[in-house]
Amino acid sequence: MDKLAPIPNHVGIIMDGNRRWAKLKGLPYEQGHKEGINRVKDIINTAIDIGVNVLTLYAFSSENWMRPEPEVTTLMGLLKYYLKAELPNILQRGVVFRTIGNHDKLSSSINMLIKHAENLTARNKGMTLVLALSYGGRDEIIRTIKKLNNSGADLKNLTENEFEANLDTAGLPPVDLIIRTSGEVRLSNFLIWQAAYAELYFTKTYWPDFTIEEFNAAIKTYSQRERRFGAI
């Protein structure tokens, strides 16, 4: 990467295509999800190296609960594995670990692992890694409205700043770049408030094949765009 090129402060990634990657290779879908985990570590380390400050990964959407039960069980098992296996690397690299989403459906053991990782990395000074788990943008907005209403907030005079301060992403900068793999060209309920002025990068590459080189290419594309935020 050209160190002089503008680097997005906050990158979001919709990691899509694990199942189709496995099907294309004649492998069980579980292998696609397992291979996808290997890409996560590569991209996290690269994001740190080039100076990204926040990386948000769409790991499990609120709609993913509708998938077949065996697949959900597999995904939850891989999530447990990731939270345990990658914590040493996260600590070594000074990463702050954080999650967003409605975790009521997650098991108590997973929630304990999440809390442990968040507490252990809270004082780190490096990149913030955000996992979107059981997350949906619409659900986040509805939960935020209910939260504000229950707190007695003056909804008639509600400001954007006050609303943002109560989202799951409170304290995080707006997302600058969203990358989606697998050839789908939509946001699929990911950071729909936060992505109001995000640049979008779509690739036909399935997530298990998404290389460091292509991640850098997405960053380079971002650096070449002119962001006007509605102004001339």
Return the active site residues. Answer: 16, 64
Closest Cα to residue 178, out of 164, 197, 161? 197
Q: Is the four-CA dihedral 155, 156, 157, 159 of positive or negative sign?
A: positive
Mapping DSSP to helix (H, G, I), strand (E, B) and coil, where does residue 206 land? coil
- Amino acid identity for residue 226 in this structure: E
- The Cα–Cα gap between 183 and 13 comes to 13
- The Cα–Cα gap between 205 and 133 comes to 23
What are 136's two structure tokens? 């949906």
In the sheet that 199-202 helps form, which strands lie side by side, from edge to edge?
96-100, 128-135, 54-61, 10-14, 177-180, 199-202
- The Cα–Cα gap between 58 and 219 comes to 18
Q: Are 179 and 218 in contact (CB under 8 A)?
A: yes
Pairing of strands 177-180, 10-14: parallel
- The Cα–Cα gap between 32 and 37 comes to 9
